[in-house]
Copies of this chain bind each other. A is one copy, B any other.
Amino acid sequence: MRTAFYISDGTALTSEAFGHAMLSLFPMKFKHRTLPFIDSLEKAQRCAHQINLAAAEDDEKPLVFHTFVNTEIKRLVTQSDAIHYDFLDHFVGRMEAELGVKAQPKTNRTHGIHQDYNFRIDAVDYTLANDDGVSTREYDQADIILIGASRTGKTPTCLYLALQYGIKAANYPITEDDMDNLQLSYDLKMHRHKLFGLTIDVERLQHIREARRANSRYASLEQCQREIDKIENLYRQEAIPFLNSTHASVEELAAKIMDEAKLERHRY
């Protein structure tokens, strides 16, 4: 199996995003190695050595996705026995010509602390303090309030919205106790323009709940079916937008919610 390296003088998150997007186009498996913070000639040399070792071991040239600012470090790494992909390099000339401005590469600019960084930390604090319905007093500050049955993906989606986009995302569970006379609570009604629902396929919900509380009523197919039916009805009656999380990752859920709820992200 061929090895893919993601290398940078910073976090290597950009190299990873670039490399993963490229490799996802090919129906093959790769070994993955990330080498972040390659910010000295000595580290660059060790890095080139690792690449050469992988080339020898795999008997196939590794694919190396890299973004470097320092040209000496880049030169050392690209001397290794591999196929090197440098996407910044390729596009930067074109962009300089178009913008009429010289590029000024700086290390760690992409994932460093921006002026809007505190937004994200505040959003994480907010999301934790308003997770799972523990408090509704700060809903006036919420950018969005996710609702749904237990284990439909509310919490991870809220955390991703906070970390990635700086969105203050509260979430409120609709529980079994609510089922007999299901309606929006006063707190939710007051903020109904911020509500966004999650739902999930019943079989998937049963599977997830079974892993947490085996053989419980909570995990029974009947109970899951009952909750999902009633909750989806509520969404429709109250015209609350909602998404099905069964086949969606947190990234997809978060991006869809940003788009459909027309949320302004606090981070770029």
Contacts and interface: CB of A to CB of B under 8 A. Distances in A.
Interface of A: 10-14, 17-18, 20-22, 24-28, 32, 34, 36-37, 61, 63, 67, 83, 85, 87-88, 90-92, 94-95, 98-99, 101, 103-106, 108-114, 117, 120-121, 124, 128, 131, 153, 155-156, 159-160, 163, 247-252, 254-256, 258-259, 265, 268
Contacts of A22: 88, 91-92, 95
How many copies of the polypeptide does the oligomer hold? Answer: 2
A21 B61 CA distance: 26
Contact of A124 (B113, B124, B155): B155
A111 B24 CA distance: 10
Contacts of A25: 88, 92, 95, 103-105, 109
Q: In the A-B complex, list the 9 residue pairs whose CB atoms are closest, starting with the nearest.
A: A17-B17, A11-B255, A111-B251, A25-B103, A24-B109, A14-B21, A32-B268, A124-B156, A36-B255
Contact of A104 (B27, B85, B105, B251): B27
Given A121-B250, A124-B155, A160-B163, 5 more contacts: A11-B255, A14-B21, A18-B21, A25-B95, A113-B247
Contacts of A12: 255
Contact of A26 (B13, B99, B160): B99
A248 B10 CA distance: 11
